[in-house]
């Protein structure tokens, strides 16, 4: 039985769908639904039990012997969150407790790190635990994720398999509940549909034209395939990048959205909000050699393939959920 934290969230619910596809139904979903629409991500999913985030450790005390692996995707992912105590409680201390449980019980432990830990990229984007102290996160969310990676590096006792995944810019179905933090593919589609134009940030750096900021955009479907592969290869451990290995511009992304909608591109630019200035990554690209050398060989979708699939198969449908 798999304990999946964040199982009603974006990446977690798509992984849940993929595990169900493979016949895995003994899944314990740990999350917090509150009064938002996130519950819809569990509609049609098969799972053993749903446990509130705050009750997870009490549940493990009673039933933990049945757990075969922990996949820890639950987190506060809001890059504009300013309550550092909250971020450290959810993204750091909670992760520590799950790690220690996995060590004590000898269970595999996969967890979500983030490409946000790389900060402005001035120290590169090389994954692994070596030298990670040199990275300078640009916001509290990234700081909390970096803090846990640093803590992991210092642990003499580790689970039999452990893997941290530095997710780059993930897009795909089931992210509608994320609000401002949803991908630009999601927001761009809605803008194109409702107003006929996609609005992108102006550049505030001379080296980049408007909309020419570059990110490593990756489909959530590719992300979940990597996690499934890790579960199938318990000998593989480490801190890995998870992107396509190719940075693309936001203009490219907007054009891919319009192409999938079979419309001519119409792009407008506006000033970046003040709360993001100085905290915004202008360039990210994931070196993927470490994951490849560990044995992962499957190709990643191109931006046009992944965005086209997302727009046509989900965003343009009345019922955009995974079946």
Note if 317 is an active site residue.
Answer: no
Which listed residue (40, 86, 178, 296) is catalytic? Answer: 178
Cα dihedral 207, 278, 186, 135, rounded to 10, equals: 90
**Which segments within 191-254 are labelled E, that is strand?**
198-201, 214-215, 217-219, 238-242, 248-249
User: Are the C-beta atoms of 8 and 31 separated by less than 8 Å?
Assistant: yes
Two structure tokens written together for 254: 């907007």
Task: Strand 162-167: give its sheet, edge to edge.
Answer: 49-52, 27-31, 2-5, 69-72, 109-114, 162-167, 238-242
Cα dihedral 279, 285, 290, 292, rounded to 10, equals: 140
Which listed residue (111, 118, 125, 141) is catalytic? Answer: 141
218: nearest Cα among 259, 167, 142, 257: 167
Q: Phi/psi of residue 171, each to 5°?
A: -135, 160
298: nearest Cα among 215, 189, 219, 187: 219
Note if 118 is an active site residue.
Answer: no
Q: How far apart are CA 60 and CA 65, in angstroms?
A: 8
Two structure tokens written together for 153: 């590096």
- Listed in sequence order, the residues at least 6 apart from 292 whose beta carbon sits closer than 8 Å to its beta carbon are none
Residues assigned a catalytic role: 141, 178
């Amino acid at each position: 039985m798999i304990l999946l934290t964040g199982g009603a969230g974006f990446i977690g619910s798509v992984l849940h769908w993929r595990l169900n596809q493979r016949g895995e139904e003994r899944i314990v979903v740990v999350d917090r639904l509150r009064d938002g629409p996130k519950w819809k991500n569990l509609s049609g999913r098969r799972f053993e039990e749903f446990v509130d985030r705050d009750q997870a450790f009490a549940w493990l005390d009673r039933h933990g012997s049945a757990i075969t692996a922990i996949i820890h995707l639950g987190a506060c992912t809001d890059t504009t969150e300013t309550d550092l105590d909250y971020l450290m409680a959810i993204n750091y201390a909670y992760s520590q407790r799950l790690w220690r449980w996995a060590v004590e019980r000898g269970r595999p432990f996969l967890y979500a790190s983030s490409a946000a830990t790389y900060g402005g990229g001035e120290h590169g984007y090389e994954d692994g635990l070596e030298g990670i102290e040199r990275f300078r996160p640009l916001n509290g969310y990234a700081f909390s994720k970096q803090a846990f990676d640093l803590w992991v590096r210092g642990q003499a006792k580790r689970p039999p398999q452990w893997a941290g995944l530095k997710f780059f810019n993930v897009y795909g179905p089931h992210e509608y509940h994320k609000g401002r933090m949803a991908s630009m593919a999601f927001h761009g589609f809605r803008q194109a549909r409702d107003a006929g134009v996609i609005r992108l940030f102006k550049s505030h750096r001379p080296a980049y034209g408007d909309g020419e900021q570059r990110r490593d955009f990756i489909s959530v479907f590719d992300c979940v395939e990597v996690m499934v592969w890790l579960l199938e290869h318990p000998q593989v451990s480490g801190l890995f990048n998870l992107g396509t290995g190719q940075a693309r511009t936001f203009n490219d992304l907007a054009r891919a959205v319009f192409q999938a909608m079979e419309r001519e591109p119409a792009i407008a630019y506006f000033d970046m909000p003040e709360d993001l200035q100085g905290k915004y990554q202008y360039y990210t690209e994931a070196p993927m050699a470490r994951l490849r050398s560990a044995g992962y060989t499957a190709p990643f979708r191109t931006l046009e393939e992944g965005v086209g699939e997302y727009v046509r198969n989900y965003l343009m449908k009345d019922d955009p959920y995974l079946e």
